[in-house]
Amino acid sequence: MTFDKLKPQIEVLLKKEDLEVKDKLTQVCELLEQNIPYYDWVGFYFKNGNKEELKLKSFAGEPTDHEIIPFGRGICGQVAVSNKNFVVPDVKAQNNYIACSIHVKAEIVIPLFVDGENIGQIDIDSHTADPFSHEDEVFLQWVNEKVAEIL
Ligand code: SME
């Protein structure tokens, strides 16, 4: 399914009144994981209180051992401090990388801002090599902007 077709579905999901934020985000993860063939694991991490670490809030795909990630560690921890998108076409080429599954070949992490502050991120793992384009970045930035509105 194209990004343009997914956008209205995401907007409807995030507006559901009878769901907690965690469950809304889980449904967003599931929608993305089920409809974009090269999105094999999708999760939202957020800053864990006032600790210098990320905590996994919602996800779709295989459960991960890495529910807590210290700032600076792995692709996710680097984005927590850089405030910048991180697109990894080949995870084997990264020194500072936390492997969640032997099947993962590529990863994209996009920071999520509320009032200009980097408070979390969307993280996507792919079993396809080098699958992400600028369009993925633009789309995922849009997803994070919509999520920021309900936090
Ligand atoms: N690979 C990530 C860790 C999180 S998992 O992909 C779910 C990283 O290097 O930060």
* CATH code: domain of residue 135: 3.30.450.40
The number of folded domains in the chain is 1
Q: Which domain covers residue 88, as residue numbers?
A: 3-148
User: Mean pLDDT throughout 77-86?
Assistant: 98
At 6, the pLDDT band (50, 70, 90 cuts) reads: very high
Q: Six-digit token pair at 128?
A: 């396809």
User: Mean pLDDT throughout 63-84?
Assistant: 98
Residue closest via CA to ligand 1's atom 6 equals: 100
How far apart are the CA of 18 and the centre of ligand 1, in A? Answer: 31
Answer whether residue 1 shows pLDDT above 80. Answer: no
DSSP 149: T
Beta strands in 36-149 (DSSP E): 41-47, 53-60, 68-70, 86-88, 106-114, 117-126
How far apart are the CA of 19 and the centre of ligand 1, in A? Answer: 27
How far apart are the CA of 123 and the centre of ligand 1, in A? Answer: 7
